[in-house]
A and B are shown apart, each in its own frame.
Chain A
Amino acid sequence: MVSNRARRLLPAIAMWGLAAVVAFLILFPLWWIFISSITPAGELFAKPIKYWPAHPTLESYRFLIENVGLLAKIRDTLIIVGLSILIGMIVSVMAAFSFSRFRSKGLSLAVAFLLASMLIPDVVTARPLYDFLRYVHLYDTYAGLIVLYISGILPFSILILQNYLNDIPVSIEESASIDGCGFVQSMWYVTLPLLRPALATVCIVNFITCLNNFFTPLFYSNGISVLSTAITQLPLRDNMYAVPWDLVSAMGWIIILPIIVFVAFFQRQIMEGIMAGGVKG
């Protein structure tokens, strides 16, 4: 009897044990970053680490807002990320629609180019792109950054949307056209509503991609500062240590917290999005 019970319980204990180890390895560092951000700077030099501060404080956050211009950085980040997602979405829907509905040799070539261009890494294009942006006066401008952010999300978005569109039968648009819908009308009233789940997935994944973009703002902007680059440019409080850990942890948590909420909220769509992108490669 006992061994029977043990046989049923043992796998359950093993599963929860493994899950606990994985969860610990991921969550514990994040918890530590949070705790560091509410610990007074002096208390951070404690050995061993105190996982709850003696005098919790929001001083680091106050410093970021008053002396580092945190709110302006949040505003800039939201403007750039928001507009990139919106315009990127319009551009990708148009292209995906065209690739899914029309056939010609030239269009196949265009698809091949878009896919192949994913292979070109950021570092390989960095210097000429920088010089080019300076030349056309787009360096360190919202417009320039937004175009680059959009460029980064286009191939993935077009790929996913095109796959999804291929599954929507053309006959639906044909009957709309027979009912007197023009091209634009049928796209707006018939195709787009059907595309809504795919649009949501692509938006959510693009939000994460844009928010995490570090390379673009680092090299193609200077005055405009988004959150991801700002964390590397925090002022040193004293010269003893290379990292102003009190500020870095606070800044880190400001970036991490919305992401945690976002992931928890959209877990299903994110899984679908990255799996759709991943399986197709």
Chain B
Amino acid sequence: MYANKKYLTIAWILVLPALLIRFFTTLYPIADTFRISFFEVKLLQGIHRFVGFRNYVDMFQDDKMIASISFTVLFVVGSMAGHLILGIALALILNMKFAGQKVLRTIVLLPWAMPMVVIAMASKWAFNNDYGLVNNFIRWFDPSFQMNWLIHTGTARNAVIAVDLWKDLPFFAILVLAGLQFISSDMYEAAKIDGAGSVQSFFAITLPLLSKNILVLSIFFTMWRMTSFDIVYAMTSGGPGESTALVAYRVTTEAFTNLNTGYAASIAIVLFLVMAALSGLSMSAAKRVDY
């Protein structure tokens, strides 16, 4: 009944508000970011001139930027490794048939439902040497333990990754769980009859069948890690030094604090292009994985 041409006008009227909102909040500003990435903009001095690719070249000679890139790579890889290993383990725990299943799933939803900024603010105190939760916990086992996590590069970076895992790994596990539930129990029955143990059937049935689901999830979770901002804004402010300044944090610092908008735009565009390329590649890989 909706095939009639006169309905097409109605169709466009219905989608128009959504399109307009998304156009003005995503497409227009990213086009503008692209444009100003070729300009040197110094708002305070009133400078606004075309400099071609200079911002892009400068980026790779900027020590702060190199620190940001290296931590972002470390953060994404470290956090994703944790997500994959612990997340799949947690999904299996959530899939256990026992009386506490529903309560456990509710508990696991909690970190996802909370704002990252609250968790990150609490983490700042939790990683305090004297009064923090983390060291207090470690001292139950090793009473003389001392560590001021957030003032050393290595430990601060690990702490940020740990907090990211606490917050988002449960969500990852729930999404893996969704995939687990599509695997029919007949397959496990058949494997059992053929004499497979539970470890064997995990590697022979569960993991292969989940691989596409996990790959697609990993793409999204990797993209979210690459644009993480709240966690370092509230937890470390990029410190100590610049060692935990994720690229997304660097962009906002250049754009809003240093008022170096052209430079910030060029970083943002590189970030976007890397993300687009990565997700494009992995999406086409995901299409080829077929079980």
Contact = CB atoms under 8 A, between A and B. Distances in A.
A92 B271 contact: no
B175 interface: yes
A23 B104 contact: yes
B276 interface: yes
A197 B36 CA distance: 45
A54 interface: no
Interface of B: 1-3, 7-8, 10-12, 14-15, 17-19, 21-22, 24-30, 32-33, 36, 90, 93, 96, 98, 100, 102, 104-118, 121-122, 124-126, 128, 130-131, 133, 136, 139, 166, 170-171, 174-175, 178-179, 213, 216-217, 219-220, 223, 226-227, 229-230, 233-234, 248, 251-252, 255-256, 261, 264-265, 268-269, 271-272, 275-276, 279
Given A102-B2, A279-B179, A279-B213, A110 B30 contact: no
B229 A215 contact: yes
Interface stretch (A56-64, A67-75, A120-128, A188-196): A120-128
Contacts of B33: 124-125, 127-128
Contact of B230 (A124, A214, A255): A214
A92 B93 contact: no
B122 A252 contact: yes
B21 A23 contact: no
A47 B22 contact: no
Interface centre among B28, B121, B126, B265 (most CB of A within 10 A): B121
A98 B11 contact: yes
Contacts of B128: 241, 243
Main secondary structure of the interface of B (DSSP, over half): helix
A121 B29 contact: no
Interface residues of A, number: 99
A124 B2 CA distance: 39
B125 A121 contact: no
A122 B8 contact: no
Contact of B22 (A117, A212, A218, A252): A117
A166 B271 CA distance: 36
B28 A45 contact: no
A143 to B, nearest CB: 12
B276 A119 contact: yes
B19 A113 contact: yes
Nearest to A177: B1
A97 interface: yes
